[in-house]
Structure 1
């Protein structure tokens, strides 16, 4: 560890020639980064107040600003993004904003570096330098988590102790933002301390492949990024160059791990932890048991089947009880069994279902709301909403969609697109079981209905017409025609009879079908017009049905009913 620099003295004495990463104008050395940090220190020192929100797009500029603020005696509040809602949320905690801010938001910017060479600075006090991150916490309310430099330093040292042999001499690429604690540790603090150059964040896969192929590399990513690696790119060019792939923020599926291993020729290393606890454990894909091994210096135990940890990454000595259910394994590792609270991970983003529900209930026109996670190949957030105005349930589809869009807009100031519901259901009341409780199964059933919601255009004793939107979640699409989702003909017959009974006095007994034709397939998303007509004889009734859409006639036929079997 000849090149190792402690975090408290990282930017104290300039070291010309020590590369730290690629900036906007080429490779930046340690002395240039320190000069920029001194400029930020002067800018922060000239302003009153201790707490400053920081958001900077460029990774090296962010590092300079962070250390400049610490050397100026400021506490930094880390913003996940610079959305207006985020800045408004942290406003109560800070004396000002600094960095890259949207138009209309005033804040601190840093001018050009002076021509004078940067001067040596005092070593930082590890316990006085603080960083604040926001997390949903166990209650679902946004909580400010204070991280001292000594906590961050011990975590970086644990990463170096665990993985130095894998990553020695490699440059650091990433798809994650340094504005999050995972990106801060893996893309800023650890590389700077160990002398590994930092490369700009890669947003596009083509750029990522080109960057990784340039030399020995580390990739810092998330499961959401790794499972979307496109196979058609020239990944062979990175084989032998990628020394390690790190993934954190949520569990990496076996499919995503296999894809990443095949394309990058390195099995990913998952790191498990939280803002409150810091890093806890790691595992490498391919372990049949999915076993997590504690990072150096981390102790763990099970309390009431939930994981508790003790390490120097915590704010105070002692045990921290998590809400992660776990099982101990014989070799000293453990398996994770899921969360015990209502904080869930969507695309590696931690989301509070309680907070979303509270936000929805504050929206105009909402009486009740429940948010849930719909399982599947790609988990989605969904919201069941009881509107104040019950007539909205039978309103035209455009009006209901407009209401749902208004709710989405209402949530947008504090939740980005990933952390907002993607599926919506309006209902007269939340489904209750015999004990008067809303169950997960009943909520999920709302999003996999047996029948489409009818929009009645005409209802009479002998003629009716209705519009049906074919929701992709309809249960009839599940398991039928696996190559392409198609509405089965038997479902069309069943629907015609079902809706006919809602408006006609049909005879009780089915007798036979006549001239039934299926002329054009119907797929998820189609909007069907169903015309129904009843003709009644002395002891029987004939139901004529016809499904049409903009594509033409889908199906038609007659069903004969009789009073007696």
Structure 2
């Protein structure tokens, strides 16, 4: 393995032959990386703004851009993605955009100064800064300011803990370097340790093929590790894989067992957060071991909650987490759930963590999340991934009976008010880019996709109904942050669905005709939908109107199954 390269000196001098990135038939070395840093430094130095939002899918150019910005004295804001809503949210905090950005953001390009060279000195670890955003369970991101000194100490702790067993393994990953976990494991740590980084993996088939080519490290999230297909042949990957890392949430026991069985190495979980950086690690060997602190990290349990102090934090103070913990008596600790998940439902204190634990103890449940739905009165809701046994029972009895069965299993420990009143059964939990199930994503499962219709008339070939476009309809999500409108695809979907309720339409959709969208539909509008079925033509005609006039109309053709 190449010599250790401190992060503050990473872009100071090329190291002959040292690889930084591989993939797509390319092998890019440290000398080429330094040239890209020079180009980015020149591009940033030519601009006056101090704060820049960065999103770059390519890990090689991402890290070069990051270092170029630091050497130009800029602060980088990491965007989790380059979607319009994300960029709108960060736009008030930055002076410009760089990387894979829409043209309307006028992004800075490193190619503006390809031939620039600098005789640079090591970075000031306390001056070079980066801003990351928490994914937060509420879905509302918070900006976290990081100094290079914090990131460097964490990288050194990772190498001291795990580096000796990795050697020159290529770093593969399913997580993005735009978030703190991926930034450390797929960008900064490999850069310092002399390990090449491969392009991000999106599909299990890619993972199976790439891990079998050379000594490898896999950086993943629980969401990806829970979905390793047993139908794929992992025998080629097993002798090559030196470590599997997981972070972003707890890895379920069955997923950990599958990782070891399919990939041949136990999963190493990293516990931490955007605020704290890495805190501790544990490795599965048939059961979940206690957490062990990373080098330099101190911990204690105060009033039942975990507190930590480490060089990964912004200061030397103790940081109190919202995780309940207990010492294991052998130098480690065990986590006991979140202390901040106690809610009040009609004056009763309810532990969401305890409800989830009880549900997951049932044979029919593989995974469960409980949340509070706000409304005229607050109530509890549960999102459940059934086990194989549970899936059979759900298919046999239906969702209503199955939810009553699960509800009854909680009756001995919780009264009716303190048990879930609404249920959703899903194949997998919805996750964001970091592999976390946010409250916003879970709550969206309970939001109606369509309004409740008020039927004004229903005849053999004509029907009319009135729809109240509530702002809470899921169809308004993301269309658009500045001023919500009802998407045309939703209007078409509603016309077909309500048409099937009103008439015996043929099963096969053929095509659309004469589709017109005249005025946008906004939340709060009361709209009239008229439907006419023309059986001789196999056509369903629809028209949306309100007090403002016509909004949309069209014709959908159907046919029998071929």
TM-score greater than 0.5 by the shorter chain = yes
Structure-2 residue corresponding to 1:374: 383
2:497 is aligned to none
Task: Give runs of aligned pairs for residues 157-168 of structure 1, distance below 5 A.
Answer: 157-168=156-167
Greater mean alpha carbon deviation, residues 303-312 or residues 270-279 = 303-312
Per the alignment, do residues 137 and 382 of structure 1 end up closer, same or farther by CA in structure 2, a change over 3 Å counting? closer
Taking structure 1 as reference, are residues 131 and 393 closer, same or farther at Cα in structure 2, changes over 3 Å only? same
CA contact (8 A) 2:75 2:131 kept: yes
User: Is the 1:372–1:383 contact (alpha carbons within 8 Å) kept by the matching residues of 2?
Assistant: no
How many Å apart are 1:287 and its aligned residue?
5.5
Cα displacement (A) at 1:376: 3.6
Cα deviation digits, residues 139-168 of structure 1 (max 9, x gap): 875321001000000000000010012211
- State yes or no: 1:156 paired with 2:223: no
Q: How far 1:249 moved relative to its partner?
A: 0.3
Please tell me whether residue 39 in structure 1 is matched to residue 100 in structure 2: no
1:246 to partner: Cα distance: 0.3
The answer as to 2:256 corresponding to 1:257 is yes
> C-alpha distance in 2, partners of 1:317/1:126?
16
Which of the pair has more CA radius of gyration? 1
**Counterpart in 2 of 1:95?**
95
- Which runs of structure 2 are paired with 1:543-558 in the superposition (5 Å)? none
Deviates most, 403-412 or 214-223: 403-412
Cα distance in 1 between the residues matched to 2:447 and 2:112: 55
- Cα deviation for residue 341 of structure 1 reads 2.7
Residue among 407, 410, 416 paired with 2:477: 410
Change over 3 Å in CA distance of 1:135–1:124 after alignment to 2: same
What pairs with 1:231-270 in structure 2 (closer than 5 Å)? 231-270=230-269
Equivalent residues of 1:367, 1:386 under 8 A apart: no
Structure 2: runs of 5+ lacking an equivalent: 343-351, 357-368, 387-427, 431-441, 456-464, 482-500, 503-562
Offset at residue 306 of structure 1 (A) = 1.2
SS at match of 1:325: strand
Q: How far is the alpha carbon of 1:393 from its aligned partner? A: 5.5
The Cα shift of 1:288 comes to: 3.3
Alpha-carbon contact 2:171-2:218 (below 8 Å) kept: yes
Q: Is the 8 A contact 1:369 1:384 kept in 2?
A: no
Structure 1 residues 145 and 122: alpha-carbon distance in aligned structure 2, compared to 1, 3 A threshold: same
> Which residue number in structure 1 is paired with residue 61 of structure 2?
61
| Aligned counterparts of 1:369 and 1:43: Cα–Cα separation in 2 | 53
Deviation at 1:105, TM superposition (A): 2.7
C-alpha separation in 1, matches of 2:227 and 2:138: 32
For the residue of structure 1 that corresponds to 2:224, the secondary structure is helix
**Whole-Å separation in 2 of the counterparts to 1:257 and 1:333:** 20
Per-residue deviation at 1:93? 1.0
Is the counterpart of residue 29 in structure 1 residue 38 in structure 2? no
In 1, distance between residues paired with 2:468 and 2:164? 55
Kept in 2, the 8 Å contact 1:158–1:296? The answer is: yes
Q: Equivalent residue for 2:399?
A: none
* Cα distance change, pair 375–326 in 1 and its aligned pair in 2 (3 A): farther
Per-residue deviation at 1:198? 0.8
1:41–1:69 CA contact under 8 A, matched in 2: yes
> Hey, what does 2:545 align to over in structure 1?
none
Deviations 1:73-116 (A, max 9, x none): 00000000001110011111111111101243322122166356
Quote the residue 1:216 is aligned against. 215
SS state at 1:234 partner: coil
Q: Sort the Cα spacing of 1:24 and 1:232 in 2 relative to 1 into closer, same or farther, 3 A.
A: closer
CA shift for structure 1 position 119:
3.8
Kept after mapping to 1: 8 A contact 2:370/2:380: no
TM-score, normalising length from structure 2? Answer: 0.65
Residue of structure 1 in register with 2:309 after alignment: 310
Q: Report the equivalent of 1:280.
A: 279
1:334-371 CA distance string (max 9 Å, x none): 1112222359999xxxx9979x97xxxxxxxx878878
Task: Map residues 81-92 of structure 1 onto 2, 5 A cutoff.
Answer: 81-92=81-92
The answer (yes or no) to whether the contact 1:257–1:285 under 8 Å persists in 2 is yes
CA distance in 2, matches of 1:302, 1:67: 38
The range that moved more, 221-230 or 19-28, is 19-28
CA contact (8 A) 1:78 1:132 kept: yes
Structure-1 separation of matches of 2:19 and 2:468: 54
What's the secondary structure of 1:173's corresponding residue? strand
After superposition, what is the alpha-carbon deviation per residue over 1:266-308, rounded to whole angstroms, capped at 9, x for unaligned?
A: 1110001000000001111135354111111111111221111
TM-score, length of structure 1 as denominator length: 0.65
Counterpart-to-counterpart distance in 1, 2:480 and 2:168: 42
Any idea what SS the aligned residue of 2:279 has?
strand
Cα distance in 2, alignment partners of residues 94 and 88 from structure 1: 11
Change (3 A) 1:207 1:140: closer
Query: SS of 1:164's equivalent?
Result: helix
1:389-400 equivalences under 5 Å are: 395=454
Secondary structure class of the residue paired with 2:210: helix
Instruction: Indicate the residue corresponding to 1:335 in structure 2.
Output: 334
Contact 1:16 1:31 (C-alpha < 8 Å) held by counterparts: yes
SS at match of 1:235: coil
> How many correspondences in the alignment?
405
* Alpha-carbon distance in structure 2 between the residues aligned to 1:175 and 1:26: 20
Sort the Cα spacing of 1:207 and 1:2 in 2 relative to 1 into closer, same or farther, 3 A. Answer: closer
Larger mean Cα displacement after TM superposition, 90-99 or 272-281: 90-99
Task: Report the RMSD for the aligned CA atoms in angstroms.
Answer: 3.8
**Which aligned pairs between 1:168-247 and structure 2 lie closer than 5 A?**
168-247=167-246
Alpha-carbon deviation of 1:15? 2.3
Contact persistence 1:58–1:200 (CA under 8 A):
yes
Whole-Å separation in 2 of the counterparts to 1:86 and 1:386: 22
Contact 1:51 1:95 in 2 (8 A): yes
Distance 1:352 1:145, change over 3 A: farther
